[in-house]
Chain A
Amino acid sequence: MKKENKGYIKDLAYYSTLGLQVAFAIIIGFFLGKFLDSKFGTSPWLTYIFLVFGIIAGFKNIGIAIKRVEKADRDGTY
């Protein structure tokens, strides 16, 4: 296989996983908040707070991917 094509496949595999990671981060944040709410009886505040944390964590993954693209552009490699 040509080197260029190999790089494309690698990128395809990596970026196709991003969506799932964002979704799971949000879900984990939501359910962690829900669990803590039922533990401390502060419904619904912790759910909202941890939902926001989950959303930020999900988008942080996209941030990491963007950094990767920038680095690849700079080095000229994949």
Chain B
Amino acid sequence: MEHPYLSLVKFFELIGFGHFAHAYPHVIYTWFVMILLIVLGAIASKGVTMIPNKMQNVFEALISGAENFMVEQTGEEGRWFFPILGTAFFYILTCNLIGLIPTFYPPTASISTTVSCAVVIFIVTHFIGFKYHGVKYYHHFTGPIWWLIPIIFPIELISHAARVLSLSMRLFGNMMGHETVLTIFFALAGLFIVPTVLLMAMGIFVAFVQAFIFCLLSTIYFKLSMEHAH
């Protein structure tokens, strides 16, 4: 369903990139999220001191909370891959949340954005596997006995593909559904905005839960590829 009014797309029309902006609104809004996160990060890390100021305090609380949660899952040896998961979490959370601002479109409501996130997680999963087990990582795909290889190998292949698909489709489905419902409610109720606002309140919950689930599942996948083959 076409979104009725998108402010950044209108802005790109003004500077002459209207065609591109209409075809790919999620790319435009991904740029916006990127700029937002980079600027906020730069402001927060500009004057890092032992006694944190306000901005640094907020970011330290957010990031150490996410880090502790992840280390609880993987154990101490998994602390080094927190940056990728933390980035994924805050990126997806921001992408979900800007959909709540009127005239903004959440980039995660487009399948391209979510698939790109899931593919990155997929590649990092196997990178971690090779880092921990070396070439022996292929034992994860072959099973315990050599004549089981023709059965186990396709099964593992399918289950790894299902991970990517389910990671991306879950996030995409939730955000797209929420966006569509909001659009329909706005079209039906118009200026009587009570149901729309109630739905937006639920949208905050959905945005947090989906970012959280994406991160939790990625952590579990990383942990599985760190462990020894069963």
Contact = CB atoms under 8 A, between A and B. Distances in A.
* Main secondary structure on A side of the interface with B: helix
B159 interface: yes
Contact of A21 (B151, B155, B166): B166
A57 B224 contact: no
Interface in A29-78: 29, 32, 50, 53-54, 56-58, 60-61, 64
Contact of B217 (A17, A29, A57): A17
A1 B155 CA distance: 40
A21 B164 CA distance: 10
B216 A13 contact: yes
B161 interface: yes
B210 to A, nearest CB: 10
B159 A60 contact: yes
Interface residues of B, number: 20
B158 A53 contact: yes
Interface residue tally on A, bucketed by range: 20 to 34
Most buried by B among A24, A56, A64: A24
A2 interface: no
Contacts of B151: 53
B212 A13 contact: yes
Given A13-B209, A20-B169, A64-B224, A25 B158 contact: yes
Contacts of A64: 224
B165 interface: yes
Interface of B: 151, 154-156, 158-159, 161-163, 165-166, 169-170, 209, 212-213, 216-217, 220, 224
28 contacts: A13-B212, A13-B213, A13-B216, A14-B216, A14-B217, A17-B170, A17-B213, A17-B217, A20-B169, A21-B166, A24-B169, A28-B158, A28-B162, A28-B165, A29-B158, A32-B158, A50-B154, A50-B158, A53-B151, A53-B155, A53-B158, A54-B158, A57-B155, A57-B156, A57-B158, A58-B159, A58-B162, A60-B155
